[in-house]
Amino acid sequence: MGKRIVVKIGSQVLCDTDGLLNLEVLARLVEQFAALNKTGWQVLLVTSGAVAAGNSLSARQLQRVQDPVARKQVMAATGQVRLMESYRALFEQAGLVVAQVLASKSDFQTRRHYLNMRGCIEALLRAGIVPVVNENDVVAITELMFTDNDELAGLLAGMVNADLLCLLSNVAGVYDGDPDRPATQRISRWDDDRYQLDDIVQRGASALGRGGMHNKLSVARKAARLGTEVVIADGRATDIMRKIVEGEDAGTRFPAAAGASPAKRWLAVADGHATGSVTVNAGAEAALLDRTRLTSLLPVGIEAVSGRFERGDVIRIVGPSGRVLGCGRARYGHEEATRLLGQHGQKALIHYDYLYVVD
């Protein structure tokens, strides 16, 4: 199996100053993706631009749709066709076939849906087909929407165990201050011990897309911790994809930690459908947050059990202050968890192999 790369192309890259799809930029990127494919990379694209492509509808047609939400849905529905036709034609010129995959957050919230989507994408990649993924904006509702396509790309990178995740936007990377100030420098290599996410954003790093730079950084750091190297870069820069895969100083690179297991990669996105929760004491919280230890959650560290859950269900882990620490798969149900509350010498409620702790 070749190396896998997930590339998210932001609307700032694909749209011109009038908010319309920029086919010249798209053609240059597709040419670079085709070149990656020839060198053995399996490419998965996460693309914005459907609404922009739908912007080319005539004013007469859009005037018939008064509701702003419905108008956006109309532009997304019609634009998705135009966007995919552009990708199809451009990739066909390079001798490659594309497939459209529309995703919603619910596809990641149950193990069954997650595995079904993973199976489909894995089959496409093995067949040499380029999956082009976008959020299903036509039917998405607020509570089931991704923060933005950066979040979707991060989830997909974990799902397919990608070697590299590229978040392409209209900036050269993450800056250590306001990009408009002469003393500000691009951060070539992110270091969690040196840089603090909130400080970087507050100093004016940028504001990009629906989620902004804060979300970009959160997605990048999370994906890197799960074992995928990440680069935030300018998608309009010349030959940007070759520079990234060859390790040149392009964008901001987030080194990958040791790869997480498939179970942990799923748990990283499974918090949204937890069926119950447990509150732990300060000692258990400290042990879980200690990155130097492999810690399971034992009953002795649990102070309270909430909700009704069965063996195999995902449950949330909450600290003494109410902070969500992570989630995991329960080895037994809520009744036994309640009975064993606070007891020494009992089997773990959540084994380390099935436990995910947030940053």
User: Among all chains, which residue has been given the structure tokens 């990178």?
Assistant: 157
Residues counted in the chain: 359
Please report the pLDDT score of residue 198 as a whole number.
66
DSSP state of 107: G
Please report the pLDDT score of residue 298 as a whole number.
96
CATH code of residue 342: 2.30.130.10
- Identify whether residues 16 and 68 lie together within a single domain: yes
- Identify whether residues 228 and 274 lie together within a single domain: no
- Identify whether residues 290 and 185 lie together within a single domain: no
CATH code of residue 78: 3.40.1160.10
- Per the structure, how many domains does the chain have? 2
Please report the pLDDT score of residue 209 as a whole number.
39
User: What's the CA gap between 1 and 89, in Å, rounded?
Assistant: 27
Please report the pLDDT score of residue 141 as a whole number.
52
pLDDT means over runs of 10, the chain (359 residues): 89 81 92 96 91 67 75 80 92 96 80 87 95 77 68 92 94 80 86 73 47 79 91 95 95 88 82 86 94 90 94 93 93 95 94 89
Could you tell me the residue range of the domain that residue 234 belongs to? Answer: 4-264
* Domain edge (last residue) among 206, 239, 264: 264
Q: Which of 314, 351, 293 is nearest to 111 (CA)?
A: 314
CB 190 within 8 A of CB 254: yes
User: What's the CA gap between 79 and 58, in Å, rounded?
Assistant: 12
- Identify whether residues 207 and 307 lie together within a single domain: no
- Identify whether residues 296 and 251 lie together within a single domain: no
Q: Which of 324, 318, 314 is nearest to 301 (CA)?
A: 318
What is residue 242's three-state secondary structure? helix
- Identify whether residues 223 and 318 lie together within a single domain: no
Q: Which of 293, 168, 291, 154 is nearest to 224 (CA)?
A: 154
Please report the pLDDT score of residue 206 as a whole number.
44
